[in-house]
Amino acid sequence: RKEVEQDPGPFNVPEGATVAFNCTYSNSASQSFFWYRQDCRKEPKLLMSVYSSGNEDGRFTAQLNRASQYISLLIRDSKLSDSATYLCVVNIAFIDTDKLIFGTGTRLQVFP
């Protein structure tokens, strides 16, 4: 089983739509959680951290359920510029260092 699992998509949605991505992780030693955005052939960039209480940043809302080991990202009022791959990322503490473990990503395509 992969440590971080995501639906690869693609999700094809019209402008203005609301879309939700889900992610599950298997390692209970996971300490912190993030959503990164990766555009085609580019490096990942942090979209937002995910906190247990849930957090919102403009049109983006992230939620974490530690009991179910589940993370979600909700995008409201989708824009064309939201088209990208969204990576669910988990920070796991190992003996010698922390490591970021990436999901395969969910591809979003917003059309006019």
Partner 1 sequence: GAVVSQHPSWVICKSGTSVKIECRSLDFQATTMFWYRQFPKQSLMLMATSNEGSKATYEQGVEKDKFLINHASLTLSTLTVTSAHPEDSSFYICSASPGGQPLPNTEAFFGQGTRLTVV
* Nearest partner of 101 among 29, 47, 43, judged by Cα: 29
- Minimum CB distance to partner 1, residue 106 (Å): 11
Q: How many CA within 13 A on the CB side of residue 93?
A: 5
- Minimum CB distance to partner 1, residue 77 (Å): 25
Question: Three-state SS for 77?
Answer: coil
- Minimum CB distance to partner 1, residue 23 (Å): 12
The footprint of partner 1 on residues 45-104 (CB under 8 A) is 45-46, 49, 87, 91, 96-104
* Nearest partner of 80 among 36, 9, 16, judged by Cα: 16
Binding residues (CB under 8 A) for partner 1: these are: 4, 8, 31-32, 34, 41-46, 49, 87, 91, 96-105
